[in-house]
Amino acid sequence: MNDNERRHHQRVSFDSPAKLISGEQRFSCQIIDLSIHGVLLRPYGVVRAESGASFELEIPLNESGDTDSQIITMSLSLAHSTPESLGFVCNTIDLESITHLRRIIELNSGHPELLEREFAQLVAP
């Protein structure tokens, strides 16, 4: 069974820089793909952490460096790692960030109806 068959949530490729934060440490990284429930990153440099370790992720939505730029912020737990990539599960995300994330997934997905189903499951009791 390959990764796409095991996944329960739609992932989209999204080539974007981001900042991974653990305590006082900040790591530059590149997003490989993301979903409403997780993200796969390519770190620039070595990030040492055990499975389950907590991180914050900041994804700037414009690269101009404006102080008014919008940022997606997620609290993550490390799910798996390889020398080339780190896979995370999203633990929490604020309303503004999930709104931006949803738009990114809609724009990069060929199946908006799958995204609607995932969001309905996310907010179901």
Q: 101: which DSSP letter?
A: H
First to last CA, the chain: 31
Please give the residue that has the higher pLDDT: either 9 or 95. 95
For residues 101 and 90, give the distance between their C-alpha atoms in angstroms, rounded to a whole number.
12
Report the percent of the chain where pLDDT is more than 90.
49
For residues 59 and 71, the answer to whether their CB atoms sit within 8 Å is yes
Global pTM reads 0.78
Average pLDDT over residues 108-122: 60
User: How does DSSP classify residue 66?
Assistant: -
pLDDT of residue 93: 93
Under a CB-based contact definition with an 8 Å cutoff, are residues 23 and 53 in contact?
no
**Over 50: is that where the pLDDT of 71 sits?**
yes
The lowest-confidence range among 49-53, 73-77, 80-84, 110-114 is 110-114
- Look up the CATH number of domain 3-123: 2.40.10.220
Residue 33, amino acid: D
